[in-house]
Structures are given as structure tokens and as C-alpha cells.
Structure 1
Amino acid sequence: MRVVLCEKPSQAADVAKVIGATNRGQGCFTGPGLAVTYCIGHLMENAAPEDYGDRYKKWSLEDLPIIPSEWKMKAKPKTQSQLKTVKALLDKAKELVIATDPDREGELIAWEVIEHCGYKGPTLRMHLSALNQAAIKKAWANLRPASETINQYYSALARGRGDWLVGMNMSRLFTLLGAQAGYQGVLSIGRVQTPTLRIVVDRDRTIENFVAKPYWDLSVTLSHNKATFTAKWLPASAMDEQGRCSSEQAARQAEAAVLNTGVARVSAVATERVVEAAPLPFSLGDLQQACSAKLGLGAQQTLDIAQSLYETHKATTYPRADNGYLDESMHSEVPQIFAAMVRTDPSVATLVGRLDPQVKSRAWNSAKVTAHHGIIPTIEPANIERMSEREASVYRLIRAHFLAQFLPAHEYDKTIVQLTIADQEFKASGRLQQVVGWKAVMTDQGAKANEEAAGQEEAGQSSAQVLPDLVEGDRPKVIAAAGEKMMTTPPKHMTEGDLIKAMKGAAKLVSDPRLKQKLRDTVGIGTEATRAGIIETLLERGFIVKKGRTLRATDAAFTLIDSAPEALTNPGMTAVWEQALTMVEEGTMGLDDFVSRQSTWITQMVTKYSSTKMSFKLEPSPPCPVCQGQMRRRPGKTGPFWSCMTYPDCNGTISIEQKSKKSVSKRKPNRKAAAAS
């Protein structure tokens, strides 16, 4: 029997339908000599420290570093029944086809199960970049030896073991150091989590240390052929590093001279046609940024809604897309997608009727599609009335970006006019729309483009003004001049969308050219699938808090970032790891070599930082209701709680909400959760 191993149930259903496994079984689909089964993501996970010995149940500096001599994996409790199904099928298999996502993580999901089940037979690889019939048929007809991509598995295994070494050891180390300073919580550290936290800490620190400085602005209103427009002053002296006037006297003198002269002279006029292509369909990160800015949604909220649109409503495609490009083989399905959108929401019928489904935008590029194509509406109609208000809003955003692919480019003329008034230079900017193009569909859908239109406000001047016809030598009259004292402003606190963007663009935070390029190649720190979870983890563990739509670092976060090794707070660490992981994937570095190097490095880090002194603004803790000893604040599934410092010897806990009632609970906190991802 040939067994096909997919990553998710929905993926297995799509593949099974195409290759002839039409009978639904328990955890699988079957057909003549064929079975298609699935993993529900990871069915296996790394063993926890306590699985390597009872001594590790209690956290102790003397037991660090923890470095397994033989690495253990264990089945995830919630999906053990599916693992049994997969094992039963693999026990009967004469040939296995791996059909998980064609990336490092997909290889790991498949091979960790294969190794656990002890399957040793022939193994092939099916490369799926899309889940439409044409793409599945093509992939099924072009199976390749699994040996061609197995190094991706070793690379993923190396990353997982390296992350375990960092998370388990450094989290325990700094939690214990924090406890010595009286801190009541878990201080988790992770290769992705910690540099992400530093991004928020650095922004907050920049805002906290910002010193406002004055500068002076001068705006002039002019008239020409009965039309008025404004121009901004370009100071020639007394400028700060941003080119703004830092001298009130210079600004007042310029204002007086302009009013006294009363006439400007046009010294140059330049007009260019700006052509804006439609924004690509959404990747998950771009969708999270857009939903944060337009709808005020958090990263995890957006992911949950996108998952619901995909799984529950069948309205949009797989949400964890890492780019917005589309497979060219899917273009033939556009008329079906259009029809499904109209049936989903009849209000778009007129709009869709104006579009040409034969148009191919830059989004249709198979070469740029990676594990998943951009998020778009499906060929199956849904019912928008059954969606929540937020689900419908996110669906409309996704729909608008797809429909934009079938409209012309947005075009406008941008004009820059240089003027001289009393030996002072001024600039007026204007724009005149020529072709609405794809922006019409964004307006129709109540959504704006992801990127702001070119010609944004410059030095406070609206780029939306339409300038009169001007040519060099014209002499418009000065109607008014208004000088104004301004103050520099600090950057804004980050929203979740801003943080997602910063994680994707982490290359900007690194100075080393090689590391900068590596971060660009890997699209920053974290992945589309993990970034929302990282932010949620930071929130749950009390390192960041929400204030309105913005994120703020807590005192504990500042202390942790200041105390932790620079190598673990700098995004460049991820780039260094990616270089080594690429070497593992290419076969130029072995898995054992990578893990050995990480083990040596962790040992050095533990030795170097084990005597670190930390200082916190402490929240007073209540006495343990069982032994009257000191308690520590910990994160929990239902919220933070106090746990006895002597756990597991004493299991006393107090809910934060019930602190005043001194309620006692015997449940044991999840110590393993302290490890960072």
C-alpha cells in the first residue's frame, strides 16, 4: 500500500480527492492500494528537562547547563490518537509519499513521525505549492526521492535542539537569578522571543529619553490665475540634521522679507507621471499589519480570524502565507473565484462585472511562491451573513487585494515647483490623479492600499493639493506667510502591527552587512506562523502590556534585556543561526556538529552569567497559604497566579484575582512553559 502523509486534515482532503482516495476513514482517506493521512501539525515534541531525570523537576543553578547526551522526542498528548492512526498505516506501507509543506518545518513534521514509527521503506517527496486540482495533479505526477530534501529535516532538527538549549537553560538561569533579586515570575529567554522583546524595549527607551527640540516652519500662501496654493520654506542656513530651521530669528527675518516682497518667482517646474502597481495579495504578516492599522486587531486576533475564514467559512485560502505571490496554474480558476465572491456577497456583483479575469498582474509568479501562495478568496462560495463583523471586515480586505489584481495601475502626475521669494527658496508639491485604477476597488471595499500613496505629506504640506498651471518665470503673488514654532516629537509606541513589521524588517536593526543580508533572505526574525504566538507569549508572561492599541514594555522587560547576553537580545543572533542552519541544509555542516557548537556556547553563557546581579521594581508577594514561605508570580492558562518558591516540595498557589481571599489551589504550575520558543 502507498501511504501519503500530509501536514493538515484539510490538505489531506484536497490531495485525496484528486488522487483517488475517496473513502473517508478514521484519521485518513483511502482508495485502491492507497491511503492519505495527516499529522495535524506536529504530532511529536521535544522532551522536557524533567523527562531526562527527576533531578530537573526542581530548578537549580547547580544543574545548569542541561545538555542531553541523547535527544528524546515524545508524542503530544492531545493528538496521540492520530499518531496511532499514522503508525498503523506506516506499519502496512510498502511506499511512503511525504506531502507536508515543502519547507524546513514541513520536513520536520513528517520525519519526526517517520522516525518515531520506525518506517524504513521507500520514501518519495511530493512538492505542493498550491492545493488546487492542477497543482496537485502536477505534483503527484512529479514525485521525487525524499533523499533530495532530507537535509531540510536535519536543519529543522538542528534549529529545534538549539532553541531548546537556549530556552531551557537561559530561562532557568535568569529565572533563578531573578528569584535571588526577589522577582516573582518566570524570566523566559528565547532566540526569537528575546530580540523581539528588545525591539519594544528599545522603542520605549527612545521615547522615554527623547528630548523635544524647537524648530521653525514657514508656510506661504500664493495666488496665480485666481487659484491659490501653498509652498514650504527651504531654509539655507541655521538648519538641524533634518534640514529644519533651528533659529527663530532666521525664521522671523525670512517671514518679514517674504511679506515685504509680496511676489514670488517660479524658478523651476518638474512634472512626472507616477504609476503605482496594485499591492500584492496578503501574506499573513502584511494582513496582520493592515488589520492592526485599519481595524485595531492584534496579531493573534487577525490570525484566528484568518484561520476561521479558511477553516470554518471556507472563504479564503490557507492563512499562514509568507508572501503575496500566486501560482500561475491557479489563474484559470479566476472566473470561478469571481463567481464564488458574488455568491458570497451579492453587493460586489456590479464591481466584479467590470473586471477582466484574463488580466495577469505581477502577483502571478510561480517562481516567487514558496511554501504557500498569497491569501485570496476561494472557488467555494461562503455566506458573509454568517461571518462576525470582524470576520467580514478581514474578508473584505483580503477580497479587495485580490480584486485589485484585475484593474489598471493607479496613475497620477506629481508636480514639484521651485520658487524664490526675497532670496529665500520655497517648494510647492501637487498631484493630479489621471487613472484611478486599482484604488477604485480599495474604495469600493472600504479598504486602503497597504502602502500609502506616493507623494505623502512632505514637511507637513498636504500632497493632495492641485497646483495651478505654472511655468518657469511666472510670478505668483504672496497672499499670506505664517511662521510657526514647532517641536520635534518622539516616535510612537508600537502597535502589534508595527512589531510584526519590525520583526519582518529586522535587517534594519543589524549593522553587519552579511548578517543584514541573511535576515533579508530569511524575512527577518520569526516566521509568518510564529510571530503572533511570540507576541502573545510576551503578553502572557508580563514582559509587555497593552495600552489601547499600543504595546509597552514592563519594568521586568527592561531589566531582562539589560541583563541578558547581547548575543541573545540582538536580532543578529538569528542571522548567525540561519547561516549555520543553511550549512546543515546544504550538507556542509552536520547536525551533531551544530548541536555540539551550541552546547559549548550555552555552557560558556551559563558560566559567564551565573553571577549576574539583577534589580527589579518588585510587586509584594503574599505568603504561601500552605507553608507561609515566599511565593513567585507565574503565568497560567487562565491568567497569572502566585506559586510557592519551593515548588514542587510545596504546591501552594494563589490566583492573582483571588489574592485577597487567600484561596488555595493544589494544581501544579506548568514549569515547562517557562522555556522560550
Structure 2
Amino acid sequence: MRLFLCEKPSQAKDIAKVLGATQRGNGCINGDGVTITWCVGHLLETAPPEAYDESYKKWSLSQLPIVPDKWLLTVKKETQSQFKTVKALLKKTTELIIATDADREGEMIARELIDYCSYRGKVKRLWLSALNESSIRQALSSLKDGNETLPLYHSALSRSRADWLIGMNLSRLFTLLGRHAGYDGVLTVGRVQTPTLTLVVNRDMQIEKFVAKPYWTITAKLANNQTPFIANWIPPEAVTDEQGRCIHQNVADSVFNQILSGPKMAQVLSVTTEAVKETAPLAFDLTTLQVVCSNKFGFEAQETLDIAQALYEKHKATTYPRSDCGYLPESMRSEAAVVLDAIGKTDPSMLPVLAKLDITIQSRIWNDKKLTAHHGIIPTLEPVNLGSMTEKERLMYQLIRSHYLAQFMPQHVYNRTVAQLQCNDALFQATGKQIVEMGWRSLMKDTSEEEVLDTTQSQVLPPLTEGMVCELKHAELETKQTKPPKPYTQGELIKDMKNIAKYVTDPRLKQKLRDTTGIGTEATRAGIIKNLITRGFLISKGKSIRSTGAAFSLMAFVPKTITDPGMTAIWEQALDDIEQGHITIDDFIAKQSQWITQLVQQYAQSSMSIEPTKTPAKETLPCPECGAATVRRNGQYGEFLACSRYPECKGIIKGKSKSKKK
């Protein structure tokens, strides 16, 4: 039997359609001599420490570090039934085609099953960048040999095991040190979550330590032939800060007084005009969608992902959401007419807009060379029911739709004019924007990420020429204060996780992080932020997120090698070396184990400074599962004691029922 192993049911359905397989089975789709099944993400996970030794259930410094001699995997409880299906199919398979996502993680999802289930048959690789019919047919005609992509599995497995070593050992280490200081919560540490938390802590420290400084501006209201416009004073460099703001009040006062006492006029020194052409924005990738939805609608990162997932799975309205790419395969251009027709049938109010589109426009979005494992998020080929969507789902659908429609509209074109004027020996500058062609912006005035993130306002200048004299109508001197950095929103934090390279100084590491799109992935960043909130390291305040006292204490205590995103870049270089066969998994894990051992030895006898957890009103008992402290919670059936390590440990002590009087 020939078996296709996909990552998700939706992939299996698309591939089955091309293969002509239509018979639904239990967790699979059958055809003539072929079966297509799926994994629902990872069906296996790295076993917890207690799977190696029962004594690890109770956390102790004396047990650290925990470094497995032989690594174990366990079947995920929530997807046990699908695992059984895949395992049974592998036993009957003579040729396996891996059809998971075309990346490291997709390779690992399939290969760990192959190893765990001891499959020894032929292996081929279906390498897909898109799930439209033509892309699938092309990939089916050029299957890769399984050995070609095996190194991807080795690098993904190395990353997974190294993440386990850091997470399990250092989380236990710093949690136990925290307990000695009176803090009963869990202090988790991770390769991605810790640098992410550091970003927020550092931003909050900048805000806390910020001291406002005054600066002065002069604004002149000028006129040419009774047409008013605004010009701003350009102070000399000798009296400005790095942002070009005047920081010497006496200079600003002197210039302002000269303007008021002198002739009420300003002479044009120079005028430059350039034509600016803006191409339409790409389709959304998940990060950009999270940024725009956070800033525009106040959506949390996980909420944006959940809504996008609902549009994809429930409503079949948009394509796969966990994409890190805004480009589309060139082969999908032929489907544009079908997509536009579906949009018109979905929302007839869009028909006047659709009538103005030019399907022959060659947008930059169609580019096979820019594709990653997934293409940009766009509307699907079939009409959908807008009435079945929630308000938030409709808002997001309209965002995604607008970005797609923009590809078939002209460029946004405007003339940008910069005029410099002299008023009583003081230099002023006026900037104007004259729109020539609205183009795609007529469709996206309130929806594009550019509009959301760019608050720059521009005026229309009257005709100006060098030497022309303009009338000075009014001048105003203002004292202003520098403002502290703004707190992170979830969208902005996601964006900085992706663009983490800007916080790294080493040129080689900086480039590596750019090449690997930062820390975390499109699929995991929202979950990392959610976990930091759940574990009490971050709190939401309106649209903003702020770090807690525990986060400040932990980030001040853990080694810089953990908080520095440069470590991820070093790892990525090592993972590349594993892919290329320069080093082995064992070499990489041995180095990580040695490093973890040194950190444990270095910190095991240290004292952490952290605010103790408030003593509960009633005495609590240790967790029956792991021995950690418990905290009182109220549930459906009254008060109970829950492990402070939740969700890592789910041990509870149920409340005692009151005895009946005899």
C-alpha cells in the first residue's frame, strides 16, 4: 500500500482530491491503491522527567541536571486515536510519502512516527509550498528521495531535545531557588520565552527610569496668494538632541522674538518635488495580521490566531493562517478570476469595487522565489457565508480580502514636496503631499498595516518657487516634553520577536536571526505570550502588556546567555551544521548538556532575590504528585488545593466534606 502522511486533515483532503481518493475511512481517505492520513500536528511528544525515573516527580536540586541517556517519546493523550490509526496504516505500508509541511518541524512530525513505529519501508518526500491543485500535481511529479530531507529531521530533533534540556532543568533550578526565597510559583525558563520576556522587562524598565526633558518648537503659519500652509523651524545642529529637537530655551526664545519683531514674511530658498509610487502591500502573513489586529482592533495575539484559524477551518473563507510569508505562487495567478468571483458572490456590495479591478496587473505578490513552506493568507476559491461569521471574524476577513484585491489595483502615486524658507535668518521647512492616483489606497484607507502604523499627517502646499516671498500670518513657540517609550502591545511584541535581530550587536548573529525570522515561529509566538501571561510573568492592561515583579526578579537573576536572543542564532548555526553533516546530534546535545551542567553547578548554591508569595490565610499541604507547594482555589464544588506548578503538574487535594451531626 502507498501511504501519504500529512500534517493536517485539510492537507490530506487537498492531496486526496488530486489523487482521486474519495472513500472516507477512520482517520484517513482511501483510493485505488493509495491512502492519505494525517497527524494533527505532533502525535508524539518528548517524555517528561518522571518517565525516566519516578523520583523526578518531586523536584529537588540534588537531582539536577536531568540528562537522559536514551530519549523517550510518549503518545499525546488528546490525539491517541489518530496515532493508533497512523500506526496501523504504517504496518500495512510498502511505500510512505511524507506530505507534512516543507520545513524542519514538518519533517520531524513525520520522522518521529517512522522511528517510533519502526517503519522500515520505502520513504519519499512530497515537497509542497502551496496546496492548490497545480502545485500539488507538480510536486507529485517530482517526489524527492526520503534521504534528501532526512537531515531536516536531525536538526529539528536536536532543537527539540536541547529545548527540553533548558526548559526542564533551568525551570526546576530557578523555581526551587525561588521557593527558598519564599516564592511559591513556578519560574519557567526557555530558549524563546525568556528572551521574549526580557524584551518586555527591558521596555518597562526604560519607561520606569524615563525622565522627561523639555524641548522647544516654533511653528509658522504662512500664506501664498491667501493659501495658508504650515512650516516648522529647523534649529541649528549645535542646539539639538539626536532627534533634531531644540533643547536650549534661550535660542528658541531669541529666534521667536526675532520673527515677531522682524518683517512678517518668509522667502522660499528651495523647492524639491519627487513622485512617490507605492505598490500594494503583500498578502498577510500571521505576524503582520497580529500586529494590525492588535493595533487597530485591540485583539490579543492568540485571539487573532484563533479567529484566523476559524476563518480557515470553520468558514473555509481564507487559506492556511500560520504562514510566515506574504507572497503567492505564480501558478495561483490563474485562479484569480475564480477568487474574485467567489468574493463577489460572498458579498454583493463589493461588486462595484470588483468591476474596477484589472486582473492583468502583474503584482510583486506572485513570486515563487520568495515562497516559504506556506504562502500568504488570502480568500479561498469558494463563496462563503458572511452571516455565519462573528463581527470579529468579518473584520478580519475584510482585512485579508482587501490585501488580495489590492493586487489588481494601480499603484498609489503622490508628489512629495519639501520647501525650505528663511524667516528673519531662521530656517523653516514645509512638507506637502499631493495625491496623483489613489490606486489601491482607495480600497484600504482604514485597513492596511501602513495606515495603522504610520500616523504621519501631510498637507497640500500651494505652488511655490525659489525666491518667492510668502506672508507670515502667525507664529507659535511651544514648550514640549520628551515622552517615554510606549508599553508593548501583543502585536508589537510579536513583531519584535520576528525582528529580534535589531537587538543583537554581533553582525554574524544578527544576520543569522534575520535569515531565520527571529525567535519562535508564526505558529508558536502567540502561545508563548499567552503562557507568559498565564504563568504570571506578564499582565494585560488595556491594549498593553506589562511585566510583573516576578518577571523583573527572574530576568535580573538568570544568566545573560539565556536572556540574549543571540543564543538562538548560535543554535541556528549549529542546526545548519547538523543539516549539512558537519556535526552530529550527539555532538550538539553533548555540548548543551555540558553547558546546562555548568549552569546548575554555578547557580545551585545561589540566593535569589524575589518578592515572597503572600502567606495564605490557612495552612496548605504539599502537592501529592510532586511535593511542591499548593495554593487555594475555588472550583465548582467549593475550595480545593491545587499544585502551584500547574499546568506542569495537575495535582490537587480535594476539600473535605463537612461531617454530619449524629
TM-score over 0.5 (shorter chain): yes
Partner residue, 2:389:
387
Quick one: structure 1 residues 78 and 531, their matched pair in 2 at CA, closer, same or farther if it must change by over 3 Å?
A: same
Number of the residue aligned with 1:186: 186
1:164 CA displacement = 0.2
What residue is the counterpart of 1:60 in the other structure? Answer: 60
For residues 182-581 of structure 1, the aligned pairs below 5 Å read: 182-236=182-236, 237-261=238-262, 262-443=264-445, 447-452=446-451, 457=456, 462-463=457-458, 465-581=459-575
The letter of the residue matching 1:245 is C
Separation in structure 2 between the aligned mates of residue 32 and residue 94 of structure 1, nearest angstrom: 15
Contact 1:654-1:662 within 8 A present in 2 as well: no
Q: Is the 8 A contact 1:174 1:187 kept in 2?
A: yes
1:48/1:672 contact within 8 Å kept: no
Please say which of residues 647-656 and 153-162 is displaced more in the overlay. 647-656
Preserved contact between residue 302 and residue 526 of structure 2 (Cα < 8 Å): yes
Q: Do the aligned partners of residues 413 and 455 (structure 1) sit closer, same or farther apart at CA in structure 2, a change above 3 Å counting?
A: farther
Q: Structure 1's 350 and 609: CA in aligned 2 closer, same or farther, altered over 3 A?
A: same
Aligned residue among 622, 626, 633 for 1:648: 626
**Which residue number in structure 2 is paired with residue 81 of structure 1?**
81
Matches within 5 A, 1:576-591: 576-591=570-585
Letter in 2 for 1:363: I
Equivalent pair of 1:279/1:404 in contact (CA under 8 Å): yes
User: Quick check: 2:329–2:371 contact (8 Å CA) kept in 1?
Assistant: yes
Letter aligned with residue 572 of structure 2: E
Change (3 A) 1:287 1:671: closer
C-alpha deviation, 1:454, in angstroms: 11
Q: Which residue of 2 aligns with 1:592?
A: 586
| Distance in 1 of aligned mates of 2:602 and 2:452 | 51
Range with greater deviation from structure 2 (576-585 or 197-206): 576-585
Say whether residues 1:672 and 2:648 are aligned partners.
yes
Task: Report the count of equivalent residues.
Answer: 648
Unaligned runs of 5+ in 1: 630-643
| Among 620, 640, 645, the residue aligned to 2:614 | 620
How many angstroms does 1:438 deviate by? 0.6
Task: String of CA shifts for 1:294-323, please: whole Å, max 9, x gaps.
Answer: 111000000000000000000000000101
- SS of 1:272's partner is strand
Cα distance in 2 for residues equivalent to 1:94 and 1:203: 56
Contact 1:5–1:99, Cα closer than 8 Å, also in 2: yes
Deviation (angstroms), 1:672: 3.3
Question: How far does the alpha carbon of each residue in 1:602-652 deviate from its partner, in whole angstroms, 9 at most, with x for none?
Answer: 111111122232222334131665xx55xxxxxxxxxxxxxx367535896
Alignment deviations for residues 339-373 of structure 1 (CA, whole Å, 9 cap, x no partner): 11112111111111211223221010011111100
Distance 1:497 1:673 in 2: 30
Structure 1 residue 273: deviation in Å? 0.5
Per-residue deviation, 1:455: 8.9
In 1, Cα distance between equivalents of 2:424 and 2:613: 63
Q: Which moved more, 1:553-562 or 1:607-616?
A: 607-616
Which runs of 5 or more residues in structure 2 are unaligned?
A: 651-662
Task: Compute the displacement of 1:241 (Å).
Answer: 2.5
Residue 452 of structure 1 deviates from its aligned partner by 4.0
2:286–2:522 Cα contact (<8 Å) kept:
yes
> Of residues 592, 604, 616 in structure 2, which corresponds to 1:610?
604
- Matched with 1:637 is none
1:473-527 deviations in whole A, cap 9, x for unaligned?
Answer: 0110111110010000001111001101110110010000001001100111110
**Matches of 1:185 and 1:518, distance apart in 2:** 35
Instruction: Indicate if the aligned counterparts of 1:184 and 1:621 stay in contact, CA closer than 8 A.
Output: no
Aligned match of 1:635: none
Amino acid paired to 2:290: Q
Whole-Å Cα distance in 2 between the matches of residues 63 and 190 of structure 1?
A: 19
Contact 1:414 1:455 in 2 (8 A): no
**Alpha-carbon distance in 1 for matches of 2:116, 2:638:** 46
TM-score by length of 1: 0.93
Q: Deviation of residue 197 (structure 1)?
A: 0.2
Letter in 2 for 1:448: T
CA distance in 2, matches of 1:136, 1:650: 52
Supply the AA of the counterpart residue of 1:663.
Answer: E
1:256 Cα deviation from its structure 2 partner: 1.2
Q: 1:662/1:76 Cα in 2 relative to 1: closer, same or farther (>3 Å)?
A: closer
Give, in angstroms, the shift of residue 260 of structure 1. 2.1
- Structure 1 pair 138–622 and aligned structure 2 pair: CA distance change class (3 A): same
- 1:673–1:594: structure 2 CA closer, same or farther, 3 Å change rule? farther
Amino acid at match of 1:116: Y
1:336·1:379 contact (CA, 8 Å) conserved in 2?
Answer: yes
Aligned equivalents of 1:270 and 1:172: distance in 2?
A: 63
Say if 1:345 and 1:384, in contact at 8 Å, map to a contact too: yes
Q: C-alpha deviations, 1:233-279, integer Å up to 9, x for none?
A: 01114222222111111111101111222111111100000111111
Deviates more, 1:248-257 or 1:188-197: 248-257
For the structure 1 residues 130 and 455, does the alpha-carbon distance in structure 2 shift closer, same or farther, using more than 3 Å as the test? closer
Closer, same or farther: CA 132–92 of 1 in aligned 2, 3 Å: same
Normalization by structure 2: what TM-score? 0.95
Deviation, structure 1 residue 177: 0.4
Q: Partner of 1:113 in structure 2?
A: 113
Cα pair distance change 1:59/1:333, threshold 3 Å: same
How has the CA–CA distance of structure 1 residues 523 and 669 changed in structure 2, closer, same or farther, with 3 Å as cutoff? closer
Q: Given residue 333 of structure 2, which amino acid in structure 1 is its aligned partner? A: H
Deviation of residue 379 (structure 1)?
0.1
Deviation at 1:669, TM superposition (A): 6.0
Is residue 563–residue 612 contact of structure 1 (8 Å, CA) maintained in 2? no
| 1:467–1:52 CA distance, 2 compared to 1 (3 A) | same
1:670 shift after superposition: 4.6
Amino acid corresponding to residue 256 of structure 2 in structure 1: E
Change (3 A) 1:454 1:624: closer
Q: Which residue identity lines up with residue 526 of structure 2 in the other structure?
A: A
Question: How far did residue 673 of structure 1 move?
Answer: 6.2
| Corresponding residue number in structure 1 for 2:166 | 166
Instruction: Output one character per residue of 1:92-138: Cα deviation in whole Å (capped at 9) or x when no partner.
Output: 11111000001000000000111111111111000111111111111
Distance 2:588 2:302 in 1: 32
Q: Which residue of 1 aligns with 2:657?
A: none
SS in 2 for 1:50: helix
> d(CA) in 2 for partners of 1:651 and 1:492?
37
Q: Distance in 2 between the 1:246 and 1:665 partners? A: 59
Q: CA deviation at 1:657?
A: 8.1
Q: Distance in 2 between matches of 1:183 and 1:485?
A: 47
Secondary structure of 2:639's aligned partner: coil
Distance 1:555 1:650 in 2: 21
Q: Summarize the Cα distance change of 1:364–1:265 in structure 2 as closer, same or farther, 3 Å threshold.
A: same
Per the alignment, residue 18 of structure 2 pairs with 18
Aligned amino acid, residue 617 of structure 1: E
- What CA distance in whole angstroms lies between the structure 2 residues aligned with 1:653 and 1:415? 64
Aligned letter for 2:435? Answer: Q
RMSD: 1.9
Offset at residue 586 of structure 1 (A): 1.5
Q: Which amino acid aligns with 2:422?
A: T
Q: Per-residue displacement from partner, 1:377-434 (whole Å, max 9, x unpaired)?
A: 0001110010000000000000001111111110100000011111111100001000
Distance 1:337 1:499, change over 3 A: same
In structure 1, C-alpha distance between the alignment counterparts of 2:422 and 2:640, rounded to whole Å: 78
